[in-house]
Amino acid sequence: MTATPTGPSARTSAGTAIRSAEVLVTSPGRNFVTLRVVTEDGVVGLGDATLNGRELAVASYLTDHVVPLLLGRDAHRIEDTWQLLYRSAYWRRGPVTMSAIAAVDMALWDIKARLAGMPLHQLLGGASRTGIMAYGHASGRDVPELLDSIRAQLAEGFRAIRVQTAVPGIDKVYGVSARPSTSGRYDYEPAQRAPLPAEEDWDSAAYLRHVPGVLEAVRNEFGPALPLLHDAHHRLTPIQAARLGKALEPYDLFWLEDCTPAENQETLRLVRAHTTTPLAIGEVFNTVWDYQTLLREQLIDYVRSSVTHAGGITALRRILDAAAQYQIKSGLHGPTDVSPVGMAAALHLDLAIHNFGIQEYMQHSGATESVFRTSFRWEGGYLHPGEHPGLGVEYDDDAASRFPYQAAYLPFTRLKDGTVHDW
């Protein structure tokens, strides 16, 4: 028998052999990359491969380098396929590679669960809770607008709210909607459709002076019980992050997110030593290695990864199990750039794991929902992935064809003196 690159034993002529794997790019309001895997028997699995602002790199990684390895393999062999894709490339990790692997992993779990006739969470151990507590986004260009935005999110049913605010002296701040989000869905999409990225400005000192007062106003208005979250979006130095965490302690945050760029995990020792504000980190991480020190030294409280960017259900489950040893919980990333497929995968994991914390839920647009038909439910502040076999998402090709890809970039940031800063 001739050895193939994927190994002869992984191939099969049974009905579960992978017949096709197709990369679908669509842009219903924003860009999404989806992998559709089909078995010889016609069972379909979907995986999300969307990497905001770098979509076509993952599409090419999949089409040019991954799809040829999948054809003829047994769709049931999820672990073997994951290990093959991770190890056979030689070049490991990174968001492009790990988003591509994630898409394959999700699609294969989708197929396995559809074949089992069960919603995916059943294969992950079954439900550990009845619903998934989600947080919504609120923002304002000033305090009254922010308070209105929070009221609108509460009216939508959210029981936990992320609070972002404009800062005097800074033109455009991450997370702040350009128009009031006082009714309907929160409308903040940082990726802009343009041939080049937009430039924003930043001033950490102005931000640090302004944010505690805003959180105080919010706490005073809504009382002590409402869980409040805030995202510093990687912009602070360790000592600034420590100061912010300390300054926010009176307002009892559910979490402070991405207080520093956490490429240097040891940095969090300093932040941790100075504040009891809970810390959430990891949306830009893509493997368990990025969390090694953070988990072992208990430097964070919440794991922020998405299924899409952390190598899929197989890999994120391992990160969350590692976190559970230290009572560190999940707080999975759920912005609109995680597609409904990636969101469904997150919800099945959220429902099954024991160390669930909270789930971000930004709500996709009507255009996005016309392409991705989901079966997850949003009721009373809680999400549920539903009981459809598999992930519970169907892809509508006709709807997708109405939304061709459009180049879009995340913005970047410069300080007042022109220095490029972390966005």
Active site positions, annotated: 174, 233
246 with 277: CB under 8 angstroms? yes
12 closest CA partner among 4, 319, 401:
4
Tokens matching residue 17 = 């052999």
Distance between CA 111 and CA 169 in Å, rounded? 52
360 in contact with ligand GCO (CB under 6 A): yes
Which residues, 204 to 243, sit near Mg ion by CB under 5 A?
A: 231
Number of residues binding to ligand GCO, judged by CB under 6 A: 10
Question: Considering beta carbons, is residue 74 or 337 the nearer one to ligand GCO?
Answer: 337
Q: How far is CA 255 from the centre of its chain?
A: 16
**CA dist list (Å): 188 to 164, 315, 317:** 11, 29, 29
Find the shortest distance in angstroms from Cβ 385 to Mg ion. Answer: 22
Nearest distance from C-beta of residue 249 to ligand GCO, angstroms = 21
Residue from 283, 290, 301, 350 touching ligand GCO (CB under 6 A): that is: 283
Rounded to whole angstroms, how far apart are CA atoms 46 and 385? 15
**Token code pair at residue 116:** 């089992």
The side-by-side arrangement of strands in the sheet containing 18-26 is 18-26, 32-39, 44-48
Could you say which residues in the range 241-260 bind Mg ion, by CB under 5 A? none
Among 28, 238, 335, 342, binds ligand GCO (CB under 6 A): 335
Using the minimum distance from each CB to ligand GCO, give the nearer residue, 73 or 233: 233
Residue nearest to ligand GCO (CB): 52
Tokens found for residue 165: 């605010």
Which residue lies nearer to ligand GCO by CB, 145 or 231? 231
User: Which partner, Mg ion, ligand GCO, none, binds residue 52 by CB below 5 to 8 Å per kind?
Assistant: ligand GCO
Shortest Å distance, C-beta 305 to Mg ion:
11
Q: Which does 77 bind (CB under 5 to 8 A by kind): ligand GCO, Mg ion, none?
A: none
CB of 284 to ligand GCO, least distance (A): 8
Nearer to Mg ion, 69 or 284 (CB): 284
Residues 6+ apart with CB under 8 A from 131: 379, 380, 382, 383, 384
Q: Which stretch binds ligand GCO (CB under 6 A): 64-72, 196-204, 292-300, 332-340?
A: 332-340
Least distance to Mg ion, CB of residue 257, Å: 5
Residues 6+ apart with CB under 8 A from 342: 48, 50, 102, 106, 306, 307, 308
Nearest residue (CB) to ligand GCO, 16 versus 52: 52
Q: Shortest Cβ distance from residue 191 to ligand GCO (Å)?
A: 7
55 binds ligand GCO (CB under 6 A): no
Number of residues that bind Mg ion (CB under 5 A): 1
| Residue nearer to ligand GCO on the CB measure, 165 or 375 | 165
Binding mask 185-204 for ligand GCO (x = CB under 6 A): -----x--------------
Q: Cβ closer to ligand GCO: 174 or 395? A: 174
* 256 within 8 A of 277, measured Cβ to Cβ: yes
**Alpha-carbon span 54 to 34, nearest angstrom:** 14
Q: Which one, 21 or 284, has the nearer CB to ligand GCO?
A: 284
What are phi and psi for residue 381, nearest 5 degrees? Answer: 90, 0
In the complex, minimum distance from the CB of residue 19 to ligand GCO, in angstroms, rounded to a whole number: 33
Return the bridge partners of 374, or none.
393
CA distance 50 to 56: 9
> Which partner from the list ligand GCO, Mg ion, none does 360 bind, CB cut-off 5 to 8 Å by kind?
ligand GCO
Minimum distance from residue 421 beta carbon to Mg ion (Å): 16
CA neighbor of 188 nearest in space, from 208, 198, 203, 173: 173
The answer to whether 294 touches 281, Cβ cutoff 8 Å, is yes
Does 337 interact with ligand GCO (rule: CB under 6 A)? yes
335 is in the binding site of which of ligand GCO, Mg ion, none (Cβ under 5 to 8 A by kind)?
A: ligand GCO
Q: Which of residues 218-237 bind ligand GCO (CB under 6 A)?
A: 231, 233
Out of 6, 26, 34, 52, the only residue in the binding site for ligand GCO (CB under 6 A) is 52
Judged by the rule CB under 6 A, the positions of this chain that interact with ligand GCO are 52, 190, 231, 233, 283, 333, 335, 337, 360, 410
Judged by the rule CB under 5 A, the positions of this chain that interact with Mg ion are 231
